[in-house]
Amino acid sequence: MQTELVIFDCDGVLVDSEGLGNRVFVEFVAEFGLAMKLEEAILLFKGCKMADCVAVIEQRLGKKMPQDFVTQLRSRTAEAFERELRPVEGIEAALDKINLPICVASSGPPEKIKLALRLTNLLPRFEGRIFSSYEIGSWKPAPELFLYAAKNMEVQAKSCTVVEDSVLGVRAGVAAGMRVLGYTEQSEATLFEACGARVFYSMYQLPSLLSHH
């Protein structure tokens, strides 16, 4: 099937936020007495919904986090984004060359997605075509978010290509019946391929991967 729509994840695909967001997370949970390495946090939480991340922290600490924990975390993350967030290397050049309809489907809240895209000057490319798990109450690896995006963009699932950087996202795309391109490092390539993704390592490769399909 010819690709008629490219569905992008946001964190780690469009914006270079995985390390940044998880660093804020690790620093914040340290204040509650939980020591975590950044690499461990990225491995555990990449692509996960916030409620699941908090559940892991609470389990490890053996206590509930404060009620405003997520609100405070989002506020700190937004501040870090304002200071340091950058687009993923090569994504602007890739988007310039992609002559297909594009949209974003992310597990994050709509306001977080829009902030990240605005700070990296990518928002004009996706305005009005941003879909969030919070809108439908379904998170990856369930396929509903990608199916919701395809329906809103009026494209059949089998004609969509998903660009993802997490195993949960890859599994969601495959479950939705879509082609999945997995943006990752070589250390995770085998895992991504086992989940059904075609792996690539640089956003500069993306336009040719799409045009060859």
Active site residues: 9
Task: Give the span between the Cα atoms of 42 and 20, in whole angstroms.
Answer: 10
Angle, helices 50-61/38-45, rounded to nearest 10 degrees: 130
Strand duo 130-132 + 160-164: pairing: unpaired
For the beta carbon of residue 98, count every other beta carbon within 10 angstroms.
16
CA atoms within 13 A on the CB side of 88: 24
Between CA 27 and CA 162, with CA 17 as vertex, the angle to 5 degrees is 140
